[in-house]
């Protein structure tokens, strides 16, 4: 194992200390229990948004905490769900009196622990709703999940629900936006290499020098099939074809296209893939209306990417364009 | 070679097509010759800033084109200087009548080609000045360079000179800011693995499973020494120690700390390194005033990082905090 780390068991603790040192203007970090909230939390009268999950997917979720997106993020150990305690603590820390929305990727551990945390927080008087993100079209049921997995589409749910909360929507309305975004979002990924979990020390799976895994999960869970390495255009056609046919997206739809790096793939390759994806959208009559390219939901140093499409409408475009100020995603003037 | 590419000779062309498809709101892309300028270029009366160099370091430089930073970027082939022609074309495309500053990383090919381009542009009536960035303390003279190499500090020069141009400074003043930033910036890097240049197809150098290269260049050029893999704290101490002693940075200085990923290292590791770097600054009495963590100047999929320190003053802090709207760096409200 070749990593820039010290004690493999301390990576999350040491990383959140780094986050605290780097971003005191944007973030406030609790070390025991571990969670991250926006510096001005709780925002009185605003619905709070909390997400979380195993670490190793950075910048998800801590990089998306700030005005216009999440109020709090709860990192578990690497590829391991956070326990209910820190979720409860983060939920209480961001409750400004208007309730809290939990945004949960569909993994069995995450769903159970967020459910328990919601019950505990409600017992303390915080109104909580939850939306479960399940955008991955690759497989139904998998190693850690009943139903479809939640993958890179989570960023879009966090962003658009966050914008809705920021404009003053109430808890039911913010939850409805999150559900709408999830229902209109589809993703699929590919891996060229395997990630190495620090406290394990060896690659999460074996893959030959010439093979790729189509439909990989963000923890390296098996996908649809293992095939020989292909030119990128053929890979994009596979991923995007499956995504388009699933919803289905239809000619005339306006879409947001996210080409997401899995961690170890250079940005230049993501743009090469984006080029082909944009061509495919044009061929299918889909209107490329908003774009995002980069490492947003990663799997440690895994090489690969995922492609996500969101079917937009006027309101979602307006929410997308609203100001956002997080470490990993920001715009607006 | 395992990459998300098609024809290895087409990677730059295909990537800039992807950039054009993804960011039409921010960028305008020329395919022949290849260069990228901000969508509203030229900005009348504003000094134009152009940088460039070999591809494979993304988001440098195209990701830093936009208001508050560069006006134009010229990508060469992977790890290969752009020829004078596209540099001249980009220079003319961003000239709003106030002259153009070239920001050049200190590599022999870049320096020569930017010099030739400056002469050609001046012959066509564009006033051009150049600043050469040479922030790498690791080695004096190297494989492709006379004197010190220009590495991640380039981002700081581009950002702060860009902010000066945006506020209306004239060409001499913008060049003076760029020189001041360069003179106060020092960097050093480490590699855990080697990058693979697409049209070569094999790793740029051999490094054992347990060795790291201290003082690596951004093309994988040799550094100071090859040593056995160490815990991250020891590596940070080596890099930051060399950086601090070089200027030297002294107790009481306010500094900007950039922990830059080389491409293949997960963000969680960069934050672990940042934590230790912040501790070292505190021990030395240096005031951590501004921070940047992420992949800004990369070497394809190389695993590793660099650490950069900039000695700040009131004016540089003000310029750093001014609005900036590029693909890879943006803030301000």
The residue of chain B with its CA nearest to that of A280 is: B21
| Chain B residues near residue A14 by CB distance under 8 angstroms | 271-272, 275
The CATH number for B95's domain is 3.40.50.10440
Please check whether residue B9 touches A, CB under 8 A.
no
Q: For A53-68, b where at least 16 C-beta lie within 10 A, e where not — what string? A: bbbbbbbbbbbbbbbb
The CATH number for B259's domain is 3.30.1180.20
Q: Are residues B221 and B273 in the same domain?
A: yes
| Chain B residues near residue A11 by CB distance under 8 angstroms | 268-269, 272
Alpha-carbon distance values, A35 to A105, A109, A329 (Å): 17, 18, 19
- Residue A1 lies inside a defined structural domain of this protein: no
| Chain A residues near residue B193 by CB distance under 8 angstroms | 2
What's residue A76's pLDDT?
98
| Chain A residues near residue B3 by CB distance under 8 angstroms | 192, 232, 269
Q: Are residues B216 and B313 in the same domain?
A: yes
Host H or E run for residue B129: strand B128-133
Please check whether residue B240 touches A, CB under 8 A.
no
- Taking alpha carbons only, the member of B212, B222, B228, B224 closest to residue B305 is B212
Contact A11 B272 (CB under 8 A): yes
Q: Contact B254/B311 with Cβ under 8 angstroms? A: yes
Last residue of a domain, one of A183, A205, A238: A183
Q: Are residues A237 and A318 in the same domain?
A: yes
pLDDT tens-place string over residues A84-109: 999 999 999 999 999 999 999 999 99
Contacts of B78 (CB under 8 A, 6+ apart): A268, B11, B12, B54, B55, B56, B197, B198, B199, B300
Region A98-125: mean pLDDT is 98
Region A191-214: mean pLDDT is 95
Last residue of a domain, one of B133, B168, B183: B183
What's residue A276's pLDDT?
98
- Residue A2 lies inside a defined structural domain of this protein: no
Q: Are residues B158 and B295 in the same domain?
A: no
- Residue A163 lies inside a defined structural domain of this protein: yes
- Taking alpha carbons only, the member of A52, A47, A103 closest to residue A73 is A52
Region A182-199: mean pLDDT is 97
What's residue B307's pLDDT?
98
The CA-based angle A322-A326-A331, given to 5 degrees, is 40
What's residue B82's pLDDT?
98
**Cα(B180)–Cα(B163) distance, rounded to whole angstroms?**
14
Q: Are residues B162 and B117 in the same domain?
A: yes
Region A299-313: mean pLDDT is 98
pLDDT tens-place string over residues B68-94: 999 999 999 999 999 999 999 999 999
What's residue B247's pLDDT?
96
Q: Are residues A167 and A259 in the same domain?
A: no
Region A21-45: mean pLDDT is 98
Q: Are residues A58 and A110 in the same domain?
A: yes
Rounded percentage of chain A residues whose pLDDT exceeds 70 = 99
Please check whether residue B314 touches A, CB under 8 A.
no
| Chain B residues near residue A63 by CB distance under 8 angstroms | 267
- Residue A232 lies inside a defined structural domain of this protein: yes
- Residue A3 lies inside a defined structural domain of this protein: no
Q: For residue B160, how many C-alpha atoms fall within 13 Å in the half-sphere facing its CB?
A: 30
Q: Are residues B143 and B261 in the same domain?
A: no
Residue B275 has pLDDT above 70, yes or no: yes
Nearest-CA distance from A122 to chain B in Å? Answer: 32
Contact B300 A4 (CB under 8 A): no
Residues of A classed as catalytic: 57, 219
- Taking alpha carbons only, the member of A64, A66, A250, A58 closest to residue A156 is A64
Nearest-CA distance from A328 to chain B in Å? Answer: 9
Residue A332 has pLDDT above 80, yes or no: no
pLDDT tens-place string over residues B143-174: 778 899 999 999 999 999 999 999 999 999 99
Residue B303 has pLDDT above 90, yes or no: yes
Region B49-67: mean pLDDT is 98
**Cα(B248)–Cα(B226) distance, rounded to whole angstroms?**
25
Q: Are residues B153 and B230 in the same domain?
A: no
Q: Are residues A25 and A154 in the same domain?
A: yes
Q: Contact A189/A116 with Cβ under 8 angstroms? A: no
pLDDT tens-place string over residues B249-266: 999 999 999 999 999 999
Read off φ and ψ for residue B52, nearest 5 degrees: 175, 180
Contact B233 A21 (CB under 8 A): no
Domain count, chain A: 2
Region B310-319: mean pLDDT is 98
Q: What is the CA radius of gyration of chain A?
A: 19
Read off φ and ψ for residue A62, nearest 5 degrees: -60, -30
Contact A268 B55 (CB under 8 A): yes
- Residue B3 lies inside a defined structural domain of this protein: no
Host H or E run for residue A233: helix A232-246
Contact A231 B5 (CB under 8 A): yes
- Judged by average pLDDT, the poorest of A70-79, A129-138, A201-210, A272-281 is A201-210
What's residue A333's pLDDT?
42
- Residue B290 lies inside a defined structural domain of this protein: yes
Contact B17 A275 (CB under 8 A): yes
- Give the burial class of A203: count Cβ atoms within 10 A of its Cβ; 0-12 exposed, 13-18 middle, 19 or more buried: middle
- Residue A235 lies inside a defined structural domain of this protein: yes
ipTM reported for the complex, 2 dp: 0.98
Q: Are residues A32 and A165 in the same domain?
A: yes
Please check whether residue A9 touches B, CB under 8 A.
no
Q: Using pLDDT thresholds of 50, 70 and 90, give the confidence band for residue B332.
A: low
Nearest-CA distance from A268 to chain B in Å? Answer: 6
Q: Are residues A218 and A157 in the same domain?
A: no
Residue of A263, A300, A325 with shortest CB distance to B333: A325
The β-bridge partners of B70 are B65
Nearest-CA distance from A225 to chain B in Å? Answer: 17
Domain holding B42, by residue range, is 8-183
| Chain A residues near residue B301 by CB distance under 8 angstroms | 264-266, 303
pTM (global) more than 0.90: yes
Q: Using pLDDT thresholds of 50, 70 and 90, give the confidence band for residue A260.
A: very high
- Taking alpha carbons only, the member of B138, B89, B80 closest to residue B109 is B80
What's residue B333's pLDDT?
42
Residues 137-166 of A with CB under 8 A from B: none
pLDDT tens-place string over residues A66-77: 999 999 999 999
Last residue of a domain, one of A183, A214, A238: A183
Contact B268 A55 (CB under 8 A): yes
């Amino acid at each position: 194992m070749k990593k820039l780390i010290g004690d493999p068991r301390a990576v999350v603790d040491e990383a959140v200390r780094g986050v605290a040192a780097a971003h005191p203007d944007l973030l406030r970090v609790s070390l025991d229990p571990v969670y991250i909230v926006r510096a001005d939390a709780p925002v009185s009268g605003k619905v709070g948004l909390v997400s979380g999950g195993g670490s190793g997917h950075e910048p998800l979720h801590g990089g998306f905490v700030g005005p216009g997106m999440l109020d709090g993020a709860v990192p578990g150990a690497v590829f391991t769900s956070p326990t209910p305690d820190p979720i409860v603590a983060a939920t209480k820390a961001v409750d400004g009196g208007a309730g809290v929305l939990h945004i949960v990727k569909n993994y069995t551990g995450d769903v159970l622990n967020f459910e328990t945390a919601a019950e505990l927080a409600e017992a303390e008087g915080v109104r909580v709703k939850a939306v479960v993100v399940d955008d991955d079209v690759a497989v139904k049921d998998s190693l850690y999940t009943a139903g479809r997995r939640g993958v890179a589409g989570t960023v879009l749910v966090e962003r658009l629900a966050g914008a809705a909360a920021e404009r003053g929507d109430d808890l039911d309305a913010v939850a409805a936006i999150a559900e709408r975004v999830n229902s209109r979002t589809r993703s699929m990924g590919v891996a060229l290499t395997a990630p190495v979990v620090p406290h394990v020390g060896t690659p999460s799976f074996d893959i030959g020098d010439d093979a790729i895994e189509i439909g990989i999960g963000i923890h390296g869970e098996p996908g649809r099939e293992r095939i020989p390495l292909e030119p990128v255009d053929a890979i994009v056609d596979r991923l995007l074809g499956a995504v388009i046919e699933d919803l289905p997206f239809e000619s005339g739809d306006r879409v947001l296209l996210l080409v997401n790096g899995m961690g170890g793939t250079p940005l230049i390759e993501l743009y090469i893939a984006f080029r082909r994806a944009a061509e495919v959208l044009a061929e299918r009559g889909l209107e490329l209306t908003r774009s995002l390219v980069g490492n947003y939901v990663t799997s440690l140093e895994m090489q690969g990417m995922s492609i996500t499409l969101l079917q937009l409408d006027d309101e979602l475009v307006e929410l997308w364009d609203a100001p956002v100020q997080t470490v990993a995603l920001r715009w607006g003037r």
